[in-house]
């Protein structure tokens, strides 16, 4: 993509929410001015990036006008007042299409919002629209049969990761500061890695998820932003129990923004370059190794212990992933020719699987989860690569230098699903660029419920090795 000179308007689009919010409250920045700037940025960059399944520009402008009127009367409420936010197109939005990247749901418009929507709006956020996703969120590649390729802002035509594809691309491209994602096997952390942004998968249930997915409690809702502080602000607005999600956590959110800078000195940090089994491209491995070493300078003890649970994961995920996607099997009768061929192959891979086989796989998963939590009795954090590879062409399911398979994209994403199984909080933090100029992410995993610790660790690393000033040349 060709470089362009930054403008004042573009600078506004890349400004963190933590800086925009006080400007709005002091009446130095109008919500209308901010929304207009972000929409102008979107208009200039779309459809090359193709981050939106649905852009609700007029709705956003009207909301900004209402926010400006409230600001003039002093009626300012909510930590996200006047700030733009995008919503992933797996999340139900009343009056706005929710198509999940599939022709089978084209033009589907829900009548009820998922709980995260009123929480963001009650905090004052202004919805810009719905961001793209792989079909039903099934893969880690930013391509769906309904919306096509969502292009990586760092290299046109390359994957920006998925399934929160559009959210990652939007954050990297400067489409405002706040983006909602969800993560069932890495779908926040993979786009964060590929896009050079920060993405947090909170502890399972920290943010209510409705309708509750029928995939054995692995899907987490969380923030995707350019800075750690913005994710802390957004998580605080989204978190907390909700009666529609019986798996949501009872505890209210902590004051994440206020405690971000408490530091992480004294933490015991484990580093695993491969979980004991995973292949990693050398350029990714070198950047992650360097990032892990930086934690020693932050006052942590960093060691590389064995991970007894790691090698058990690949067989378990490859048994469970097709079984859970088999729920879409009835769609094949009408929509198979319009569906992602990889998804179809994955669905068919579970044909004939018995209940006994599923229960065996689930029992192995539960033992795996116990082993993960036993490991964290000894360690505060675990550091790994976020993904094994840097971005590759989005029309491929695997990089060209990796083995081909009809549906297995997990081979290059072995680091994320273990912590969906175990429900631990985990984040991807930018830790450098390959020689080809493509971003790489470091995964930071914490103990279950220790979302604040993960945020604090990411913040400390962000301050030691800043990244948010780097922008793709669009």
Catalytic positions: 88, 163, 187
Helix pair 313-325, 341-348: axis angle to 10 deg: 100
Residues in the chain: 474
**DSSP-assigned beta bridge partners for residue 303:** 270
Q: Alpha carbon 401 to chain centroid distance?
A: 26
Distance CA 76, CA 24 (A): 10
Helices (H), 376-450: 418-421
Q: CB–CB of 262/456 below 8 Å?
A: yes
Helices (H), 126-206: 165-173, 189-195
SS3 at position 361: helix
Q: CB–CB of 227/261 below 8 Å?
A: no
Nearest to 275 by CA among 126, 389, 413: 413
SS3 at position 148: strand
SS3 at position 90: coil
**CA quadruple 233, 235, 240, 244: dihedral positive or negative?**
positive
* DSSP-derived secondary structure letter, 376: T
**DSSP-assigned beta bridge partners for residue 116:** none
Nearest to 223 by CA among 425, 3, 78: 425
- The answer for 269, left when phi > 0, alpha when psi is -120 to 50, beta otherwise, is beta
Q: CB–CB of 188/181 below 8 Å?
A: yes
Burial of 374 (0-12, 13-18, 19+ CB in 10 A): exposed
H or E segment and range at residue 66? helix 57-72
DSSP structure string for 209-268: -SSPPTTTS--EEEEEESSHHHHHHHHHHH-S--TT-TTS-SSPPP-TTTTGGG--TT-E
Quick check: bond before 47 cis, omega within 30? Answer: yes
């Amino acid at each position: 993509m060709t470089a362009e000179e930054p403008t004042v308007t573009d600078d506004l689009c890349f400004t963190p929410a933590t800086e925009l919010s006080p400007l709005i409250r002091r009446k130095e920045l109008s919500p209308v001015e901010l929304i207009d700037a972000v929409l102008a940025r979107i208009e200039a960059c779309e459809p090359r990036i193709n981050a939106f399944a649905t852009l609700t520009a007029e709705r956003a402008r009207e909301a900004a006008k209402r926010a400006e009127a409230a600001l003039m009367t002093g009626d300012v409420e909510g930590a996200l007042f006047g700030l733009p936010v995008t919503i992933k197109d797996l999340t139900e939005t009343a009056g706005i299409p929710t198509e999940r990247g599939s022709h089978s749901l084209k033009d589907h418009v829900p009548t009820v919002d998922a709980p995260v929507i009123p929480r963001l709006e009650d905090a004052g956020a202004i919805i810009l629209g719905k961001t793209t996703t792989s079909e039903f969120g099934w893969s880690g590649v930013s391509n769906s049969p309904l919306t096509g390729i969502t292009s990586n802002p760092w290299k046109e035509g390359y994957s920006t990761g998925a399934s929160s594809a559009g959210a990652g691309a939007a954050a990297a491209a400067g489409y405002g500061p706040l983006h909602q994602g969800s993560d069932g096997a890495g779908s926040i952390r993979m786009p964060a890695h590929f896009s050079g942004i920060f993405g947090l998968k909170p502890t399972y249930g920290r943010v209510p998820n409705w309708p509750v997915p029928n995939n054995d409690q692995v899907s987490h809702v969380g923030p995707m932003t350019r800075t750690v502080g913005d994710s802390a602000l957004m998580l605080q607005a989204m978190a907390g129990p909700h009666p529609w999600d019986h798996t949501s956590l009872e505890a209210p959110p902590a004051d994440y923004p206020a405690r971000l800078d408490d530091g992480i000195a004294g933490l015991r940090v484990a580093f695993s370059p491969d979980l004991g089994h995973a292949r990693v491209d050398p350029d990714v491995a070198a950047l992650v190794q360097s990032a892990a070493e930086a934690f020693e300078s932050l006052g942590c003890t960093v060691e590389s212990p064995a991970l007894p649970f790691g090698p058990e994961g690949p067989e378990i995920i490859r048994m469970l992933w097709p079984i859970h996607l088999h729920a879409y099997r009835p769609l094949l009768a009408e929509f198979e020719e319009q569906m992602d061929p990889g998804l179809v192959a994955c669905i068919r891979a579970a044909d004939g699987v018995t209940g006994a086989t599923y229960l065996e796989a689930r029992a192995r998963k539960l033992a795996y989860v116990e082993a993960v939590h036993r490991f964290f009795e000894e360690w505060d954090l675990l550091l790994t690569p976020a993904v094994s590879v840097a971005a590759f062409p989005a029309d491929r399911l695997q990089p060209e230098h990796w083995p081909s398979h009809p549906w297995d994209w997990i081979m290059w994403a072995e680091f994320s699903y273990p912590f969906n199984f175990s429900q631990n909080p985990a984040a991807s933090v930018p830790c450098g660029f390959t020689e080809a100029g493509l971003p790489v992410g470091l995964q930071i995993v914490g103990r279950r419920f220790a979302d604040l610790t993960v945020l604090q660790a990411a913040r400390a690393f962000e301050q030691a090795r800043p990244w948010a000033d780097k922008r793709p040349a669009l």
